[in-house]
Amino acid sequence: MTTVRREAFGRMPPEEGGGEVEKFVLQSDSVRVEILSFGCIITTLETKDRDGQFSDVVLGFDTLEGYKRKHPFFGAVVGRVANRIANGRFKLDGKEYQLFLNNGPNSLHGGAKGFDKVLWSPQVLPNGVRFFRLSPDGEEGYPGDLKVWVTYTLSGRELAINYQAQTSKTTPISLTNHAYFNLAGQGSQDVYDHEISIEADSYLPVDDTKIPTGEVATVQGTGFDLRQPVELGKHLQKFHLDGFDHNFCLHQGQDRRLVARVFHPPTGRTMEVHTTQPGIQFYTGNNLDGSLKGKGAATYPKHSAFCLETQNWPDAVNKPHFPNVLLHPGEEYNHTTWLVFNTA
């Protein structure tokens, strides 16, 4: 049985149209998750350890003000296009589109005011909540009126996130949730003792601005071979890696498949990621620097969390040999990611 509760969380400033920000609390026997109508943000995700103790395993803030200030997309749904687009530029049907540059020379996670920074319209479901918004033609430089639905449902140990969209003009789209996890509990200093595996035979090498070079490289014999579980801290040392911020190329297909698993031996917590998406961005919080005050006055230093963002491959709109990222009028974008929490 999942219970769903809604409560006030804050108000948008008048210059942004006012409007109440609500929080939706989804609770089952083993998982409790809180989600905002602002940015569809997961603010809290509590799950049990092997002794049955709940801990909050996602980074975030206690107040709306925290999420309104500049932060690294904690818990938010990002779009229209997750990840980076080279030079914020792409061509469609002979026309060139220029996006806002918010990540060095590139456009990241939708631009200056992406889906993470706006109020969505909520609808309570028996076991979850569905958010809707219309992204108007030209918003952040993207073509077409885009209708978007993001649905969170909780059943037992499994949180499902479904993304649907329809457009009036051909547009690139790639949606993901940018939750930062630490299975020891948010506020823990690093994720070095986590064991991770990712079901991917290849990954995308990137240039110095984090744009894929276009090569689809085998993981075999490299530090990117995570097909068998590795202990993160030791693995980074062994391969002299500063951390991960890379797309892993998943086996293609429309069906649900297990793509990643994380295990935290001290608490026994495990998290599995299942998805229909063609890629997963594994990011180890390399840019966290301890400057943000998070929940319960926690600070978040470098490598104090990891992200597993299921999505299309970065810069796919400029790389025809990458999986198709274009949505055409009359089609439906429909992807789901499932997070399954257990103890071992």
Binding site, annotated residues for beta-D-galactose: 83-84, 178-180, 245
Q: How many CB atoms lie within 10 A of CB 292?
A: 19
| Residue the block writes with tokens 């077409």 | 144
Residues labelled as active-site residues: 178, 309
Closest of 26, 204, 233 to residue 131, by C-alpha: 26
Binding residues, by number, are 83-84, 178-180, 245
Closest of 182, 190, 162 to residue 334, by C-alpha = 162
What is the maximal distance between C-alpha atoms in the chain?
60
What is the rounded CA–CA span in Å between residue 326 and residue 324? 6
Strands 77-78 and 202-203: unpaired
